[in-house]
């Protein structure tokens, strides 16, 4: 998995030039502490991912500029009935960025390894949705979410069925009302990774619009897992690049 | 108490190696320079991935002052690495290595990361090395990176060998050999 956070980051004032920790070491430390990190050794205790790389580079790229990025390898297969671990992945990224500064995330890009799914995780996702119950109603945010299959066409052909399925399920984390095959997030045309890591270059896209329970990396993690599951259920078996942003962010 | 016992057992092992005259270089040669087979080609690593020659994975290491090797002078440090992966920004295999100081007096260590590619004859062959003299912790500027460019995206087995040499101290020859990863990168 790969995630890039875009927006603004004000570094904590105590983080001077002599800091010893960076996004990489903080991500390793946090995911190790939470039991999510699988050490790179035979017979190591199972976590969710193995560390690849990370960096923070506020101000890079065209607006909204990239704040930080994280890359991991899923270790082993996703447990039957469990979604892609995007929620803990983004939770870890969120914790790391908060350690570095105060962030205002305006967009996220996540590479979803849908090909790693062997079973549907709808039941688990509906249970996990309980976290967002009884929230402040004012936290609802209109979002635009683009799924890009790169050179694989399938995400376009399954978009109508995905919309129907999302609307049928009894969840109120993401109320999806439309999809488009032509009107996409501009950031989706600039993936942060090389083509060889997925089915790049960018190509076949579907963009879903709706209301998310809250604009947070926790909710975006759930949404990303949810859309990966819906894609899998409708036959997508290749990586998808997800780009999400609030509609008001332009 | 368990910590002390562990030190003693490690000491015995180190002394044994020292008395036999084994060097780090010879140990590496045994693991990374198998008999060449002309027809061998890069390949995906079978599952479960082949381990090192002796089946061991070294994670914990010991060091001692250069002026003597006594059990009371031994210290502990840890060798760390990550999973060899395809870089997000360049079409190359990449892997990092660093060290964590337990109670050694050393401030710096030379960390060497060697990337190895799996071949169809069962051997692992060196394909790229990176080295850096770094402080403990693995944070900003304190990692070494091994890199090897990919010729194509055929799925192939890769792993890394991470060696940490404490500056100013003698340390044991243990190296971290990371678990094999089949990734979309082949180098001929």
The ipTM value here is: 0.88
Q: Is the peptide bond before A201 cis (omega within 30 degrees of 0)?
A: yes
**Cβ-Cβ contacts under 8 Å, B160 against chain A:** 40
User: What is the tens place of the pLDDT at every residue in B149-183?
Assistant: 999 999 999 999 999 999 999 988 999 999 999 99
Q: B183: nearest CA in chain A?
A: A197
What pLDDT, on the 0 to 100 scale, is given for residue B2? 31
Q: Which of A99, A103, A86, A101 is nearest to A5 (CA)?
A: A103
Q: Which of B178, B175, B111, B183 is nearest to B148 (CA)?
A: B183
**Cβ-Cβ contacts under 8 Å, B137 against chain A:** 20-21, 25
Dist CA A155 CA A168 (whole Å) = 19
What pLDDT, on the 0 to 100 scale, is given for residue B99? 97
B118-148: buried (b, 16+ CB within 10 Å) or exposed (e) per residue? bbeeebbbebbbbbbebbbbbbbebbbbbbb
Closest CB to B83 among A43, A51, A196: A51
Stronger pLDDT, B12 or A144, i.e. the higher one: A144
Is pTM, for the whole model, over 0.90?
Answer: no
Dist CA A228 CA A232 (whole Å) = 6
**Cα radius of gyration rounded to whole Å, chain A:** 17
* Joined tokens for residue B57: 């994975």
What is the count of structural domains for chain A?
Answer: 1
Shortest distance, CA A218 to any CA of chain B (angstroms): 24
Dist CA B122 CA B176 (whole Å) = 19
**Cβ-Cβ contacts under 8 Å, B178 against chain A:** 40-41
A68-72, A214-218, B42-46: segment of lowest average pLDDT: B42-46
The mean pLDDT of A102-106, rounded to a whole number, is: 95
Per the CB < 8 A criterion, the answer to whether B51 and A42 are in contact is yes
Look up the domain containing A20 and give its range.
2-246
| Chain centre to alpha carbon of residue A232 | 16
Shortest distance, CA A33 to any CA of chain B (angstroms): 15
Closest CB to A19 among B135, B140, B178: B140
């Amino acid at each position: 998995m790969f995630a890039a956070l875009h927006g603004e980051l004000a570094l904590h004032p105590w983080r001077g030039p002599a800091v010893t920790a960076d996004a990489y070491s903080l991500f390793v430390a946090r995911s190790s502490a939470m039991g999510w990190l699988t050490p790179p050794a035979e017979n190591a205790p199972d976590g969710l991912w193995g560390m690849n790389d990370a960096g923070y580079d506020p101000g890079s790229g065209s607006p909204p500029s990239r704040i930080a990025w994280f890359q991991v390898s899923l270790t082993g297969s996703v447990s039957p009935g469990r979604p892609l671990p995007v929620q803990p992945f983004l939770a870890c990224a969120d914790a790391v960025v908060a350690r570095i500064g105060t962030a205002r995330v305006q967009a996220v890009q996540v590479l979803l390894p849908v090909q790693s799914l062997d079973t549907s995780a709808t039941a688990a996702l509906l249970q996990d949705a309980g976290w967002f119950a009884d929230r402040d109603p004012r936290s609802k945010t209109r979002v635009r979410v683009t799924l890009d299959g790169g050179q694989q066409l399938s995400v376009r052909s399954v978009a109508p069925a995905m919309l129907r399925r999302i609307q049928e399920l009894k969840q109120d984390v993401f109320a999806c009302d439309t999809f488009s095959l032509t009107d996409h997030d501009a950031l989706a045309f600039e993936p942060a990774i090389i083509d060889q890591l997925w089915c790049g270059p960018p190509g076949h896209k579907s963009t879903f619009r709706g209301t998310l329970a809250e604009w947070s990396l926790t909710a975006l993690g759930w949404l990303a897992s949810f859309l990966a599951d819906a894609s899998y259920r409708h036959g997508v078996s290749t990586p998808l690049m997800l780009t999400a942003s609030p509609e008001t962010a332009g | 108490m368990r910590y002390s016992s562990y030190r003693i057992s490690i000491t015995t092992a180190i002394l044994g190696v020292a008395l036999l005259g084994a060097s780090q270089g010879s140990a590496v040669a045994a693991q990374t320079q198998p008999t060449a087979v002309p027809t061998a080609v890069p390949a995906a690593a079978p599952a479960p991935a082949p381990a090192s020659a002796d089946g061991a994975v070294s994670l914990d290491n010991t060091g001692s002052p250069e002026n003597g090797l006594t059990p009371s002078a031994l210290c502990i440090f840890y060798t760390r690495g990550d999973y060899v992966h395809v870089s997000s920004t360049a079409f190359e295999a990449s892997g990092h290595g660093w060290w964590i100081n337990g109670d050694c007096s050393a401030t710096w260590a030379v960390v060497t990361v060697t990337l190895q590619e799996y071949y169809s004859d069962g051997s692992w062959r060196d394909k790229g090395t990176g080295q850096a003299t770094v402080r403990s912790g693995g944070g900003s500027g304190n990692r070494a990176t091994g890199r090897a460019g990919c010729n194509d995206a055929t799925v192939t087995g890769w792993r890394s060998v991470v060696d940490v040499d404490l500056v100013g101290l003698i340390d044991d020859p243990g190296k971290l050999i990371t678990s094999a990863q089949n990734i979309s990168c082949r180098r001929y």
